Structure 1
Amino acid sequence: MDFLTEPFSYAFLQKALIAVLLAGLNCALVGTYVVLRRMAFLGGALGHTILPGVAFAFLKGFNLFFGALGASLATALGVAALSSQKRMREDTAIGVVLAGMFALGILLMSMASSYRDFEAIVFGSVLGVTGADLAIVASVTVIILVILCLWHKELELTSLDPEYARVIGIEPNRMRLLVLLLASLAVVSAVQVVGALLTIALLITPAACATLLMRSVSGIMILASVVAVLSGFVGLLLSYHFDLSSGACIVLVATGCFLLVWVYRFIRPLGH
């Protein structure tokens, strides 16, 4: 029991655990729609395109979270605008926005005194989470939960059958934009936990794992949340006891869960 409880006797690890659990919940819930809509590339794009926002916020001296959020929302809106044209596919739009925003981020980062100033954002720094950071992440969680409660049916239907949704009066493009905005919030909430480079894993892997076992959207969301929370808890334990990168440990635990489930599904196909 000491192995499980000893780390969380420290206040900074208690804050880290709360941040991990909230960020994991955010990513699992939103990631369900991202996976069902086959928008996995989006998660990686959002993680990388926050860099110009972070760099700008750092250079101007205001909260990095809001810089990251601004860049992430700009990415989501840019992708939505470009892909609304029938001549451009969504993955192409994501690639264009990703390249431009990432290049802008590198340009702004080069204006800082050292790239080391951005290590916490790029690689994650969950052990440095403050009370203010927790308040922001908790606010994001509340916003996501409220939106999902209000528009869950519309989001589910447009994810599974967009044509039928259009027939009954639900506009799929608006729901797709809503998913993009939710993904932006989820990714930004997870950046300090696992870093910009690994946010795609927290957004995609738990949901992908859950889709291998569950048939309903609600079931996928619940199981994805369990995988994300479990990965965060175990990842922090491994990080503390073996002095390893917390973000990498969290992601590797989630990846391990996915591989175990994938092997199980390979041996025993769904429906047996």
Structure 2
Amino acid sequence: MSELFVSISPSSLLLEPLTHEFMRKALMVSALVGGVCGLLSCYMTLKGWALMGDAVSHAVMPGVVVAYALGLPFSLGAFVFGVGSVALIGFVKQKSRVKEDTVIGLVFTGFFALGLVLVSKIKSNIDLMHILFGSPLGISNSDVTQTIIISFLVVAILLIFRRDLMLYCFDATHARSIGINTGLLHYLLLSVLSLAAVAGLQTVGIILVVAMLITPGATAYLLTDRFDRMTLLAVISSSISSILGVYISYWSDIETGGSIVLVQTLIFLIAFLFAPRYGIIKYKNLSSR
């Protein structure tokens, strides 16, 4: 593998993949989904909803299978089950004494298990590996169109309700005290999370989409205290990670979704170590003085 990279010029490393239509589509979709998930991940990080993102991403699996069985778009079934899981979590939490994190764990594992059972029982051409880990290199034109529409819808909602959502994530009690409908924002943010999970389904799959919804925001959170800069850094790092991940998977013949998430994780580790104010190496140097 090392000999392969040595024998290829830098320009070929960059330009050769672009000669293939499937690579151009994969790069475009991965960068778009990465940017959208990066933007949303800032709100998820501030709200502390890592487990909720995990729940929604896993809960869409039975929706994909049911949609295939009914001849409907995957995105529609995934969105319905994603929102349904959120509604079920809220219902069980309100009607029982079980804590929210426990309810989330119960619901997302139950939905995920239902998806696995449906895949095994419904005769179809669904590739379970593609659902679990994504397949941007084999994405169809119709899926590209759906992903673009979903991505722009998510961005539009986040921009329109930006100030209210930011205040809700920082301090829900204060937001409620000044008359903001926090209940509406709660379910709006969860609906947007479901849409983002559907978009990420094509690139990194159900298992890894939670990383795209958490890691960019966590990385940016270590680098700045200002929310505007945090969103910009998260979008840039997530998009770049997606592009690099696709390139690495092409030249190394490895799973694309895993490659994207590993690049994101590496960027987070660099920020964790060397962030100007919050990196642990700088913190240790200051403590030793």
TM-score (norm 1): 0.93
Residues 260/115 of structure 1: CA separation in 2 closer, same or farther (3 Å cut)? farther
* Count of matched residue positions in the alignment of Structure 1 and Structure 2: 271
What is the deviation of 1:122? Answer: 1.1
- Matches of 2:197 and 2:244 in 1, distance apart? 21
What is the deviation of 1:100? Answer: 2.4
Cα RMSD of the aligned pairs, angstroms, is 2.0
8 A contact 2:58–2:109 mirrored in 1: no
What is the deviation of 1:88? Answer: 4.5
Asked if residue 266 in structure 1 is aligned to residue 276 in structure 2, the reply is no
Q: State the secondary structure of the residue aligned to 1:199.
A: helix
- Matches of 2:38 and 2:211 in 1, distance apart? 10
Letter in 2 for 1:239: S
Match of 2:51 in 1: 41
Match of 2:229 in 1: 219
8 A contact 1:109–1:115 mirrored in 2: no
8 A contact 1:125–1:193 mirrored in 2: yes
Residues 210/137 of structure 1: CA separation in 2 closer, same or farther (3 Å cut)? same
Match of 2:252 in 1: 242
**Equivalent residue runs for 1:72-111 within 5 Å:** 72-84=82-94, 87-111=97-121
- Matches of 1:85 and 1:8 in 2, distance apart? 54
Q: State the secondary structure of the residue aligned to 1:147.
A: helix
What is the deviation of 1:47? Answer: 1.8
Match of 2:79 in 1: 69
Encode CA deviations 1:5-24: one digit per residue, 9 max, x unaligned.
21112111111111101111
Q: State the secondary structure of the residue aligned to 1:187.
A: helix
Match of 1:174 in 2: 184
After TM superposition, the structure 1 stretch with the greater mean CA deviation from structure 2, 80-89 or 250-259, is: 80-89
- Matches of 1:228 and 1:158 in 2, distance apart? 24
Letter in 1 for 2:64: V
Asked if residue 204 in structure 1 is aligned to residue 223 in structure 2, the reply is no
Match of 2:4 in 1: none
After TM superposition, the structure 1 stretch with the greater mean CA deviation from structure 2, 86-95 or 146-155, is: 86-95
Letter in 2 for 1:54: V
Larger radius of gyration: 2
- Matches of 2:109 and 2:150 in 1, distance apart? 27
Residues 141/100 of structure 1: CA separation in 2 closer, same or farther (3 Å cut)? same
Letter in 1 for 2:230: I
8 A contact 1:19–1:137 mirrored in 2: yes
TM-score (norm 2): 0.88
> How high is the sequence identity, in percent, across the aligned residues?
34
Which of 117, 122, 136 lines up with 2:127 in the alignment?
Answer: 117
Gaps of 5+ in 1: none
Letter in 2 for 1:68: A
Encode CA deviations 1:223-244: one digit per residue, 9 max, x unaligned.
1111110111110111111111
After TM superposition, the structure 1 stretch with the greater mean CA deviation from structure 2, 38-47 or 63-72, is: 63-72
- Matches of 2:109 and 2:253 in 1, distance apart? 35
Residues 47/232 of structure 1: CA separation in 2 closer, same or farther (3 Å cut)? same
What is the deviation of 1:116? Answer: 6.5
Asked if residue 189 in structure 1 is aligned to residue 199 in structure 2, the reply is yes
- Matches of 2:255 and 2:266 in 1, distance apart? 16
Which portions of structure 1, spanning 4 or more consecutive aligned residues, are displaced by more than 6 angstroms?
Answer: none
After TM superposition, the structure 1 stretch with the greater mean CA deviation from structure 2, 51-60 or 22-31, is: 51-60
Letter in 2 for 1:27: C
What is the deviation of 1:103? Answer: 2.5
- Matches of 1:111 and 1:61 in 2, distance apart? 16
Encode CA deviations 1:234-260: one digit per residue, 9 max, x unaligned.
101111111111111000000000011
What is the deviation of 1:86? Answer: 8.5
- Matches of 1:87 and 1:160 in 2, distance apart? 26
Encode CA deviations 1:85-117: one digit per residue, 9 max, x unaligned.
684433223122213212221221221347973
- Matches of 2:184 and 2:269 in 1, distance apart? 34
- Matches of 1:53 and 1:24 in 2, distance apart? 22
Letter in 2 for 1:110: S
8 A contact 1:80–1:177 mirrored in 2: no
After TM superposition, the structure 1 stretch with the greater mean CA deviation from structure 2, 245-254 or 84-93, is: 84-93
8 A contact 1:124–1:247 mirrored in 2: yes
Letter in 2 for 1:238: I
What is the deviation of 1:46? Answer: 1.6
Letter in 2 for 1:268: K
